[in-house]
A and B are shown apart, each in its own frame.
Chain A
Amino acid sequence: MLIASCSKHYDVGNVNGINAEGEVLLPVAHKSFTVRSLMERFQMDDAIVWTDEGNMTFCFYLENNGVVKGDEMLQFDDLHYTGHFEMENPYQHNQMPNEDTFVTLEHSVVFEADNIHVMRAIMKSGRLDFTVESNVGLLNKVVLRSSDITDEEGNSFEIELPVEDSTFSFDLEGLHYATDSANRLNLSYDLFFNVPNISEPRLSVDVNISGYDLALSEMLGFVDRFDKRSHIDSVFTLFPNNLGGTLDLNGVSIRVSECNTFNLGACLVVDTAMVYSEGLEPYSVLSPLPLSVDLPQQQEFGEVFNQTVSGQLNIVGGRAYSASDFIMNCENHSGLVTVLDSDRIDTRIDVEIPFVFSVDDVTYLDTVNLNLQHLDLPDLIEELTLDMEFVSTLPMGINASFFMYDSQADRITDTLLLNADLIEASLDGQPVTTKLTLVIDEDRVSHVMHSNRIIMSYHLDSNAHDVSLNVNQKLDLTLKARALYKGDVELVEEERL
C-alpha cells in the first residue's frame, strides 16, 4: 500500500496544466487627439483654415468663372443671304464681250447679334461662301470689293477670287471692319462668265452667301442691357457620415468677389439662396431677397459683397441652392464701348464657418475591427479592469457607449459601457481630468474574445454653451489595464512531425 501510495504521489502523468493566481498591471495604450488630428481623421484638411489665433474655420467656395465672356459676345450666328438680280442684257445687240467685267453687283449682308452693335472690329475668324448662278453662262472669275473692310494697314479691300463650279470663298480672318451702319457689311463684286449667251434679252443672276465661324477679336460699338440666368446647386460636407446631430452656427460669413474686365458695369441679382440640411427645414440664408450686387469694372478680383448670417446645419453638411441673374450694362450705358474677346466676368462666393457652435445631440460612431479568434490566449483572466484617464481641453463633454459586436451573428454580444460620462468639458480652457474604470469580468472577457468588432458611440454635449474649436485644444487618453488571472494553463504536447 505504501508503494502504491508513493507511486500515485509521484505520478506526474496526470499533470495537465500550470496553475497561477495573480494580477498583471500593464499600460495598454495612449493617444493624444488634437483638434487638428481629429480633423485629419475626418479628412477635412482641405476645408479647414486655421486662423492666426489657432481657431478653426470651415471654408467653402464656389467659383463661377466666365459668367459673361467677351468671346461669346463677339461670336455671331452663321448667316445666309440669298439675292436675285435681273437686268437687261447689255450685250444682246452689241459685239462679243471682251475681258472686262461682264456684270457688277452690289449688296450688303448683316451679322446678326443679340446684344451688340458693331461699328468697328477686328475679325478673328469667319468665312463667306458664295454661289452664283446665271442664265448667260458659267462664272469663271470674280473680283470682290468692300468699302467696310480694310487690311491691317488701312488699304481698301479688293481681291480676285478663284471660282470652281460657280462657287468661291472669302476668308475674313485678320481683316478690319469699319462701318457706318452697325453689323452690316457692304459687298461689291465683278462677275465674269465664260461663253456668255448674248441672245438672252435679260440677264438673270442668283447669289447665295453663307457666313461661318464669324467672330471678332475686338470691337467698338454699342452693348445693350441684357441678363443671364445662373444657378448654383452644391452639396457640401462638414463631417463624415458617422457623425450625427445639429450645429447651431453663428457668424457665418458669405463673401462675393468678382473680376469684371469689360469696359462696362454689371450687376448680380440674387433671388434665391436656400440651404437644405437633412432633418431640418430648408431656410433662406440671405434676406431680404432679391439682393442686388454691383459688379463694377475691375481687372483683379475684388470683394463686392460681405454679409454675416446665422443658421442651423446638420453636422454632416447639406445642400446649398441659389438662383441669380447677371445683368450686363445694368445702368443702360448708351455710348460706344470697346469689347475684347478676352473680356469676362468671374465671380467667387466664399463661405466661412467659424467653428463656433453649440451641440446638444451630436453623436459620433466609430468601429474597431477585432481579429482575436485566432489568438491562443489561455482562459485565465477572471477580471480585466481598464483604467481610462482623459485629460481634455475640449470645450464639450462627451458621453460614450461601447458595444461588442459579432458581425457573423449580427448581434451585440455585450455592452461594455452605456452612456458613461467619459469626458468632462473644459469650459475655461484648463485641462480637465476624467477617470473612468471599466470592469470586464470573466464572461465579458469571453465575449470580447468572441466578438469581431467594437462599436463606439460618442455623444457630444456643449451644455447649451457656444463653443469654438482651437488648434491648441486636445484630448489625451491613457489606457491601462489590471488583469486578475486565476486558473490553469493547459500543457499542450507539441505535435511531432
Chain B
Amino acid sequence: MRKMSRILLVAVLLLVVYATQAQTVSPVDFMRLNPYQLRSNPAANLPYNSVLSVAIGNVGLDVRNTSLRYDNLFEFDAEGRPASVSLTKFANSLKEDNFTGFNANWELFTFYRRLVEGAISINYGVKVQGDARYNDGLFKLLGYGNGAFVGEDNPAFVDMKLNAMAYQELAVGYQYNLTEQLSVGGRAKLLFGLFDVKTEAFNATIYTDPESYALRIQESVAMRLAMPNVVYADGSGRLKTDGRFGLGELFRNPGLALDLGAEYHINPQFSLVAAVHDLGFIHWGKNSIDVKGQINDAGQFYDNGDFLFEGLNVDELQLIISDDWYRGEFLDTLQRYFQLQYDPLSSYTTSLNTNLLIRGNFDLDAHNRFSAQAQGCFLGTGFRPAFTVAYCGSFWDNLNVCVSYTAMPESYDNIGLGLSAMIKTCNIYLTTNNLLGVFKPLNTSAYNVQLGIVFNMFVPGKRFVDESNKPSYLE
C-alpha cells in the first residue's frame, strides 16, 4: 500500500513538474450537475437516473495558442482596422518554440442510464484535433531576410510539425461503485478515422556564408497523410487530393480507445480522482500516402545532399535576365530540387492524444466543492500539462456555478466560469476556462468553450438518484 502511495505521489509530482500545461481543461469537468463530467472522470456518480441528448448535448472547442496573436499579425490604420500583414512584427512576437492547437468535439448523441448495479452510458460524436509546433525561423526569415541570420544565429533553422486528426467516436461506458469509498468507470470507444496528418519532420536549415553569401540549404520532410478520398501523385509528381469519395470511406479507418477512471473517497470531505482518456489508436488503412522530402539531385546546385547556391555563371545569369523561356525553365528546375515524393502507404497507425489527470476534491458541504487538478496530454508534438484549481457550487438545486483557474506553460491568466441551469428536465450549460479569452479569442493563449443542452429523462420529478444509491457526499 505504501508502495502504491509512492507511485501515486511520484505521478502527481511528475505532472506538476511538467509545468501543468493544459489541454481540454474545462469547468464542465468540475460541475457536479453536468453529466459531461463523465468525460474527464468516467468513475463519477452522476446525480441522475438517466440522461439523453441529441445533436447539441455538448459542443466544445479548445484552443491553445502560445504565440500567434491577431494583434501581432497586422499593422492597423488610424481607425484601428488591420491594414497589412506585418511579417516583421509577427516574427518579433514569436518565441523560439511556438505551439498552436485546437480540439473540437461535437456530441451528437448521449444516453446515460443508472442501473441496479452501476450505470451505463452511450455516446456518439465527432472529434477534430490538430496541433502545430513551429519555431520562429520561417517567419524571421521571411520578415527579416537571411541577413538577420549572418552571425550567431547562422544557420537559420525552420522547424514545423503539423498533426491533425478527425474521427468519429462511438463509446459505451460503465460506472460502478465497488465500495462506498471507491468507484470505477470506463468507456470502450470504437473509432472511425476521417483524416489524419502526421508529421515526423518538416524542417530546413539555411546557412548563409557571411563572406560569399553562398546559401546552403538542407531539408527534411517526413509526413503521412490519410484522407477520406483518394489521394495520389500526378504525372509531374504533385499531390492530388481530388480523388473519388464515397460515404463508405467514412468508416474505413477503424480504431479503438479506452477511458478509465477511479474515484476514491478518503473521507466525506476529501476524494481523489485518477483518470486516463483516449488511450487508443486508429489504424489508417485507406487512402494513405507517405510524404518525404530531401534535396533532390536536379543539377548543378546539388552538393552532397544539400542545395548549394553560390551564384550563377555570368552567361547563365544573362540568359535568365534576358530570355523569358530560359528563365521559366530555370525556375522549374529550381522547384525540382525541393520537390516532395509521394508514395502510397498500405496502412499506418496513430495513437490518440492521451490525457492523464489526477484530481483532488474537497467538499465543504453537499453544495460546495473545491478541486485541484493536474492534467497532461500527450500530443503528437509533445507533452502538454496543466494545473487547475476550481470552485463549484450548486444553488437551489437548479443552478450550478463553477469558477476555475488554470495555469499552463506561457498561459497563466485563465480564469474560467461555468454556468449550468436546470429547467425542469432540461440542463442548459455554458462554460469557458478563460473568461477574458472568450472576448478576445484571437489574442489569447488558451481558451475553452463548451455548451450544450441535456435532458434528464424518465423521472422528471426525481432527477437525483434514489436514496439507496445516492452517494453519501450529496446528502
Contact = CB atoms under 8 A, between A and B. Distances in A.
Interface of A: 5, 8-12, 14-31, 368-372, 374, 477-483, 485, 488
A23 B143 contact: no
Nearest to B142: A20
Give the size category of B's interface with A: 35 or more
Interface string B133-147: 000000000111111
Contacts of B214: 27
Contact of A5 (B80, B317, B318): B80
Interface stretch (B21-29, B82-90, B278-286): B82-90
21 contacts: A8-B79, A8-B80, A10-B82, A11-B81, A14-B83, A15-B84, A18-B86, A21-B143, A22-B145, A24-B145, A24-B146, A27-B215, A27-B310, A28-B311, A29-B312, A29-B317, A372-B321, A374-B324, A477-B314, A479-B311, A485-B145
B313 interface: yes
B87 A19 contact: yes
Interface in B308-335: 309-315, 317-318, 321-324
Main secondary structure of the interface of A (DSSP, over half): strand
Contact of A22 (B144, B314, B318): B144
B147 A478 contact: no
Contacts of B315: 31
B311 A10 contact: no
Given A14-B81, A22-B147, A477-B314, 15 more contacts: A10-B70, A11-B82, A12-B82, A15-B85, A20-B144, A22-B145, A26-B309, A28-B317, A29-B314, A30-B314, A370-B322, A371-B321, A371-B323, A374-B324, A480-B213
B88 A22 contact: yes
A482 B145 CA distance: 10
B317 A17 contact: no
B84 A30 contact: no
Contacts of B70: 10
Closest 10 CB pairs of A and B: A23-B147, A22-B145, A27-B311, A22-B144, A31-B314, A24-B145, A20-B87, A25-B213, A19-B84, A480-B213
B82 A14 contact: yes
B85 A18 contact: yes
Given A12-B82, A15-B82, A19-B88, A31 B322 contact: no
A28 B312 contact: yes
A12 B85 CA distance: 10
Contacts of B85: 15, 17-19
B121 interface: no
A477 B318 CA distance: 15
A29 B313 contact: yes
Given A8-B80, A16-B83, A23 B144 contact: yes
Nearest to B212: A27
B355 to A, nearest CB: 32
Given A23-B145, A25-B146, A30 B87 contact: no
Contacts of A480: 212-213, 311
A233 to B, nearest CB: 38
Nearest to A453: B322
Nearest to B441: A10
B158 interface: no
B58 interface: no
B150 interface: yes
B153 interface: no
Nearest to A2: B439
A28 B320 CA distance: 12
Contacts of A28: 311-312, 317
Nearest to B85: A18
Interface in B36-89: 70, 74-77, 79-89
B313 A31 contact: yes
Given A30-B314, A31-B313, A482-B147, A19 B86 contact: yes
B474 interface: no
A18 B87 contact: yes
B213 A23 contact: no
Interface string B286-322: 0000000000000000000000011111110110011
A25 B309 CA distance: 12
A10 B323 CA distance: 45
Nearest to B314: A31
Contacts of B442: 10
Contacts of B233: none
Contact of B318 (A17, A25, A368): A368
A22 B83 contact: no
Nearest to A371: B322
Contacts of A21: 88, 143-144
Contacts of B322: 368-371
Contacts of A20: 86-88, 142-144
B153 to A, nearest CB: 13
